[in-house]
Amino acid sequence: MSFQDIQVIAFDADDTLWENENFFREAEQQFCELLKAYQPREQIMEQLFKVEVQNMEIYGYGIKAFILSLVETSLLISDKKVRPEEVEAIVDIGKTMLNKDVVLLDGIRDVLEELAPNYRLVLATKGDLLDQERKLKKSGLLNYFHHIEVMSHKKETNYQALLNHLDIEARHFMMIGNSLKSDVLPVINLGGTAVHVPYCTTWVLEQMNPEDIKSDRFFELKEIRDVLTLFTKA
């Protein structure tokens, strides 16, 4: 393929621009420790996973949805015996997550600085609108982006709506992110270009085998700085 076709480059936010998933893993550990009197960790995590899957279409993604699922899970695993102070502690876990500092991933500012003069840069993420706006403001990256899109889901229909809004064809669009399922596959299916930059940990619901994606418009890199080598080679 020719990178000369690319006009718009979109970046995922969580675990592409800044750290995120590790905060959820820490919160899960705290949650299991808080409720260990009711059930073992393995059973708590199994129940939490079921609840999150069931709630996804209702609550969407993000910290607030996660905390609601934690509260629901606490009721289920305790047979509704969870104490008010334990529920309060769960809510506090969420508040702590929402007040975390934004830690940029190594190299992301250099990549944005290099690409911004030549391409329209877009932030395309899913999650809670207020939380993503907070993180973007704290990150200091806002001025690099031509457009901000916080999606309820990252499916083909969502990306097509974004392409329509930007008034471009899929062949002019590149998506960069850490999730094969959300950042790569839908864009490839639409005829766009997608770049996978794995993060050290990935939510189980976002995992898939990269070998299942067959396209000359799919690129897998080790770190975000390697994005620049794609354009250098082109």
The domain 3-18+102-233: what is its CATH number? 3.40.50.1000
Confidence band for 233, pLDDT divided at 50, 70 and 90: low
Residues 113 and 230 sit within 8 Å (Cβ to Cβ): no
Q: Sign (positive/negative) of CA torsion 171, 125, 234, 207? A: negative
pLDDT of 167 reads 96
| Tokens read off for 128 | 């809670």
The percent of residues in the chain predicted with pLDDT above 70, rounded, is 93
Q: Does 8 score more than 70 pLDDT?
A: yes
Domain spans of the chain, in order of start: 3-18+102-233, 21-98
The domain 21-98: what is its CATH number? 1.10.150.240
User: How high does pLDDT run on average in the chain?
Assistant: 91
> Rounded to an integer, what distance in angstroms lies between the CA atom of residue 104 and that of residue 87?
31
Q: What is the pLDDT of residues 59-117, one digit of tens each?
A: 888 899 999 999 999 999 999 999 999 999 999 999 999 999 999 999 999 999 999 99
pLDDT of 203 reads 57
Instruction: Compute the average pLDDT of residues 206-223.
Output: 78
